[in-house]
Amino acid sequence: MKIVIQHSPSDAGRVAARQIASTLRLQQNGIIGLATGSSPQPLYEALAALVRAGEVSFASTRGFALDEYVGIDPDHPESYHSIIARDAIAPLGMDPRLVRVPSGSGSVEEVDEAAVEYEAAIREAGGVDVQILGIGANGHIGFNEPGSAADSVTRRVDLAPETIAANSRFFPSVADVPTQAVSQGLGTILSARAIVLVANGSEKAQAVRDALEGPIEASCPASFLREHDDVTFCLDEQAAALLSAETRARSVTTALDDSTALSH
């Protein structure tokens, strides 16, 4: 487990981008796990800068998104289909035909069948090389809310009231926020070969502390990441604000160019 603390979200995003680019450079036709939300946006911007500089290409990289709302039109601007297209596929120059997002459309049976098929597709592709994650203020990753099992797979889930409230900022009112989603499970996420989590801002500080210092249990789904052997937490100072002196002492605050600090 590596913990990187940087002054600003954009610096944390640049470190995370470097980590991802170096992982994928080792893979011909690699597979990236894509996350939505405000947390990964500086990371996608930093990756796009690396693409423009010719340091990395995602043209033949396959992608699997973490999650999608149930019952939302994929063309809705706040669907995760739209957000992944906008925030990841376009700026990274990915081939949209190589990127999949779980389906939240159709009948309950169709959504559930598509979730099973999505899980199988990730396995059949050989698994994710590097998974990008944000974190919810309640410690969720993907849409695996507190109480999710460590070995859960892609499935339909109920959103916690606090998640619905947090995500209402993207919808006209809280009543318009979908109450269910399809999410890769914790087991799916933990099967990625490398994981890079980004967290910014004081509203994530408690979740980051619980994830890194609390018990490893379902009350904080992100705490299960500590059982994975290749995880990097890229934090800005505000998200790291509640970490103990011991945790901070283990963290890397090095200059961005010092890639040796992030090597395995």
Q: Is 140 an active-site residue?
A: yes
H or E segment and range at residue 15: helix 9-25
Q: Is 145 an active-site residue?
A: yes
Closest to ligand GLP by CB, 105 or 163: 163
Report how far residue 213's alpha carbon sits from residue 48's, in angstroms, rounded to the nearest whole number: 33
What crossing angle do the helices spanning 9-25 and 41-52 adopt, rounded to 10°?
50
Annotated active-site residue in 87, 129, 145, 210: 145
Q: What is the CA radius of gyration of the chain?
A: 17
Closest to ligand GLP by CB, 39 or 79: 39
Q: Torsion angle, CA of 148/150/153/156, rounded to 10 degrees?
A: 0
**Using the rule CB under 6 A, which residue among 136, 178, 185, 221 binds ligand GLP?**
136
Report how far residue 90's alpha carbon sits from residue 79's, in angstroms, rounded to the nearest whole number: 16
DSSP state letters, 152-198: --SEEEEPPHHHHHHHGGGSSSGGGS-SEEEE--HHHHHTSSEEEEE
Report how far residue 194's alpha carbon sits from residue 233's, in angstroms, rounded to the nearest whole number: 11
Minimal distance, residue 96 CB to ligand GLP, in Å: 20
Is 179 among the residues that bind ligand GLP (CB under 6 A)? Answer: no
Residue nearest to ligand GLP according to CB distances in the complex: 134
Annotated active-site residue in 68, 81, 119, 140: 140
Closest to ligand GLP by CB, 167 or 238: 167
Is 37 among the residues that bind ligand GLP (CB under 6 A)? Answer: yes
Q: Is 81 an active-site residue?
A: no
Q: Is 144 an active-site residue?
A: no
Site mask, ligand GLP, residues 138-177, x = CB under 6 A? ----xx-------------------x---x----------
Is 36 among the residues that bind ligand GLP (CB under 6 A)? Answer: yes
- Residue numbers 39-78 binding ligand GLP by CB under 6 A: 39, 66-67
H or E segment and range at residue 34: strand 31-34
Minimal distance, residue 110 CB to ligand GLP, in Å: 21
Report how far residue 157's alpha carbon sits from residue 69's, in angstroms, rounded to the nearest whole number: 9
CB 235 within 8 A of CB 4: yes
- Residue numbers 76-135 binding ligand GLP by CB under 6 A: 134-135
Please choose, out of 5-13, 31-39, 231-239, 241-249, the segment that lies near ligand GLP by the rule CB under 6 A. Answer: 31-39
Strand, helix or coil at 141? strand
Q: Which residues are catalytic?
A: 67, 138, 140, 145
The residues that touch ligand GLP, with contacts defined as CB under 6 A, are 35-39, 66-67, 134-136, 142-143, 163, 167
